[in-house]
């Protein structure tokens, strides 16, 4: 198996792009549409999706890499509502915080704390590295960014 060192700064560029892109979608939609669920079974509002991403990032980077205890109610994240400005401000604060959380990041290092298996159905948590956590966090943000783009398009079509 070939190993390589993951540079957290490279990932932060793409994490920022995903978060900024999701904030831009909320700003484009405004408070009313950002909090609306599209007429699809099980769909979430754009606001709830980004609120969930706040929880995802705080947990995976903040708790597992930064050592912060971040309380999380995952199911409540998908029901969250609020103002676009307030969530945007929280995302900007998150971007500052995760830079601090990644002080001392070593991509090939083992985790000092095991991930909560109910947050993701991925196997072999006892073998995860810090780099895997960072990749997994970005994976989730990228998927949810795409989900928000589609949700925005649906909501705009049915204004």
The pLDDT score that the predictor gives to residue 1 is 57
> What is the average pLDDT across 73-88?
97
The pLDDT score that the predictor gives to residue 82 is 98
pLDDT(133) > 90: yes
Global pTM value: 0.94
CATH number at residue 121: 1.20.120.450
The answer to whether residue 2 sits within a structural domain is no
| CA distance readout (Å), 153 to 23, 27, 108, 125, 142 | 15, 14, 39, 36, 17
Over the range 90-101, which residues count as b (16 or more CB within 10 Å of their CB) and which as e?
bbeebeebbeeb
> What is the average pLDDT across 102-108?
94
The answer to whether residue 13 sits within a structural domain is yes
According to DSSP, residue 60 is labeled I
The answer to whether residue 51 sits within a structural domain is yes
Q: Identify the domain containing residue 101 by its residue range.
A: 8-157
pLDDT(89) > 90: yes
Task: Indicate the range of 3-17, 64-78, 99-113, 115-129 predicted with least confidence.
Answer: 115-129
Q: How many domains does the chain have?
A: 1
The answer to whether residue 1 sits within a structural domain is no
Task: Indicate the range of 44-48, 88-92, 111-115 predicted with least confidence.
Answer: 111-115
Give CA–CA dist 18/14, Å, rounded: 6
The answer to whether residue 142 sits within a structural domain is yes
The answer to whether residue 3 sits within a structural domain is no
pLDDT(68) > 90: yes
Q: Count CA atoms within 13 Å of residue 56 on its CB side.
A: 24
The answer to whether residue 26 sits within a structural domain is yes
């Amino acid at each position: 198996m070939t190993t390589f060192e993951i540079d957290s700064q490279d990932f932060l560029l793409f994490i920022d792009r995903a978060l900024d892109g999701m904030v831009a979608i909320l700003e484009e939609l405004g408070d009313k549409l950002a909090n609306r669920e599209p007429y699809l079974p099980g769909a979430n509002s754009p606001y709830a999706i980004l609120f969930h991403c706040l929880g995802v990032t705080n947990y995976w980077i903040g708790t597992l890499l930064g050592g912060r205890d971040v309380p999380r109610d995952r199911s409540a994240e998908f029901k969250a509502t609020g103002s676009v400005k307030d969530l945007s401000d929280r995302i900007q604060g998150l971007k500052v915080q995760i830079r601090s959380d990644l002080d001392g990041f070593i991509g090939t290092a083992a985790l000092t704390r095991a991930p909560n298996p109910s947050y993701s159905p991925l196997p072999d948590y006892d073998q995860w590295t810090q780099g895997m956590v960072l990749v997994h966090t970005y994976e989730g943000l990228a998927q949810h960014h795409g989900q928000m783009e589609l949700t925005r398009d649906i909501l705009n079509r049915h204004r």
